[in-house]
Amino acid sequence: MRSGTTRPARFAWWRALPPLALIVALVFWFLATDPLSGLEGNAPPIEELTIERATLDEVGIKLRVRADGSEPVSIAQVLVDGAYWSFRQDPEGPLARLRTARIEIPYPWVEGETHHITLLTRNGLAFEHTIEVATTSPTPGPRRLLAFALLGLYVGFVPVSLGLLFYPYLRTIGRRGMYFLLALTVGLLAFLFVDTLEEATELAIGAAGAFQANGLVWLGALLSFVTLMAVGRRHGRPTGVALAFFLALGIGLHNLGEGLAIGAAYAAGEAALGSFLVVGFTLHNLSEGIGIASPLTRQSVRLPTFIGLAALAGLPTVLGTWTGAFAFAPHWAALFLGIGAGAILQVMVEVGSHLAATARSEGDSWVSGTTLAGFAVGLAVMYATAFLVTV
């Protein structure tokens, strides 16, 4: 061995045991002795309660609540529209941190009316929830599942497929047209990225504070972005069909969020799911299909590939409508939307890189009036059609 060099130490996992043992011992000592007990005042313990979901049926109102504070929560009384009302809690007794319970209130709610609910704890704290438009909540069943599946297909899979039908025309555009189309795709993705993050942070507000859902949004976005970048760049920068599949994945995760919003709004009676809304989603998602086809204009693609792209981008809407209508939870929804935002950001980077590389190979600059116009049109199209899909 040459002088001045050192041999790397051999891996010895047991060397980490002493500090780990000291950390565990310190934690147990702190919990057992509670050295901060002398600092506590005479104020009552702080209770936190989150009302995650409300469902209505012919029997009355059912709430799913979650304890959110450091102290157990005991629900003592329930008020509906200012009047005290009997209730049943399952499971009974105080709720420990992050535990959930179902509150059943045999209240004769009125179809289409607004109802205000207040939960009072034994310490006198009040937690409120408003049902904006009372309507019977959907329950899982073959007919309901089929109806929501068809809705998801109408607003997700069908418009994306229609957008992919523009592929033969897109192959006829020239060099400048291809630059415009790729820049338009980046504009579409930029709008979806901002829209997805906005939806995720709104949902995070309704989640229990202990979940730190706002942080979950950003962590999910960061993790999905880094993971997809690592997977996509294993064999170099993705192009062609590979890039189109990454586009479909990012858009599919966004459409999952759209499905969640539709299903949850319908379950809460806050969405008029008529033909106007379906037409709005069709126009909104039609441009997404065109964007997915943009990296494929310089190669021949077989029909099964288009079917796979349409399924990856559109079918998550079906899963979203089912979840939103029957099993919605704000913290999980916020996390998955954050993951979707990270996926969209990864595709933005890849499509932008593809545009820059294509322009360089042709001896052009990727920053031009054509690309700026395409980016602006992509933003404008998504912004304009977004007016039609408010649920």
Q: Note the pLDDT of residue 41.
A: 55
Tokens standing for residue 96: 């420990």
Q: How far is CA 194 from CA 16, 48, 104, 212, 267, in A?
A: 44, 31, 38, 20, 26
Q: Note the pLDDT of residue 308.
A: 94
Identify whether 43 is part of a domain: no
Q: Is residue 123 located within the same domain as residue 54?
A: yes
* Whole-number Å distance between alpha carbons of 233 and 360: 20
Q: Is residue 158 located within the same domain as residue 274?
A: yes
* Whole-number Å distance between alpha carbons of 15 and 208: 39
Question: Any idea what the CATH number is for the domain that residue 98 is in?
Answer: 2.60.40
Identify whether 317 is part of a domain: yes
| Residue where a domain stops, chosen among 131, 164, 198 | 131
Secondary structure of residue 155 in the 3-state scheme: helix
CB-based contact 100:66 (threshold 8 Å)? yes
Q: What is the pTM of this model?
A: 0.76
Backbone angles phi, psi at 230, to 5 degrees: -65, -45
Q: Are strands 75-80 and 61-67 parallel, antiparallel or unpaired?
A: unpaired
Identify whether 26 is part of a domain: no
The per-residue pLDDT for range 220-245, each reduced to its tens digit, is 999 999 998 888 888 778 888 989 99
Identify whether 115 is part of a domain: yes
Q: Is residue 122 located within the same domain as residue 169?
A: no
- CA angle, residues 297, 309, 351, in degrees to nearest 5: 50
CB-based contact 112:135 (threshold 8 Å)? yes
Q: Is residue 188 located within the same domain as residue 296?
A: yes
Q: Is residue 121 located within the same domain as residue 146?
A: no
**Residue 292, domain extent:** 142-386
* Whole-number Å distance between alpha carbons of 175 and 71: 65
Q: Which residue has the tokens 């977004």?
A: 386
CB-based contact 343:253 (threshold 8 Å)? yes
Q: Is residue 99 located within the same domain as residue 199?
A: no
Identify whether 240 is part of a domain: yes
Q: Is residue 182 located within the same domain as residue 125?
A: no
**Identity of the amino acid at 381:** V
8-state DSSP, 11: P
Alpha helix (H) residue ranges in the chain: 17-33, 142-152, 158-164, 167-170, 175-205, 213-232, 240-267, 275-293, 303-314, 316-326, 330-361, 369-386
CB-based contact 161:248 (threshold 8 Å)? no
Identify whether 23 is part of a domain: no
Q: Is residue 286 located within the same domain as residue 305?
A: yes
Residue ranges for the chain with pLDDT beneath 70:
1-12, 36-45, 268-280, 388-391
User: In angstroms, how far apart are the furthest CA atoms of the chain?
Assistant: 87
Tokens standing for residue 250: 């990012």
Number of domains in the chain: 2
Identify whether 11 is part of a domain: no
| Residue where a domain stops, chosen among 85, 109, 131 | 131
Radius of gyration of the chain, Cα coordinates, nearest whole angstrom: 26
Least Cα distance to 220 among 361, 340, 117 occurs for 340
Q: Note the pLDDT of residue 1.
A: 46
Identify whether 74 is part of a domain: yes
| Residue where a domain stops, chosen among 109, 131, 153 | 131
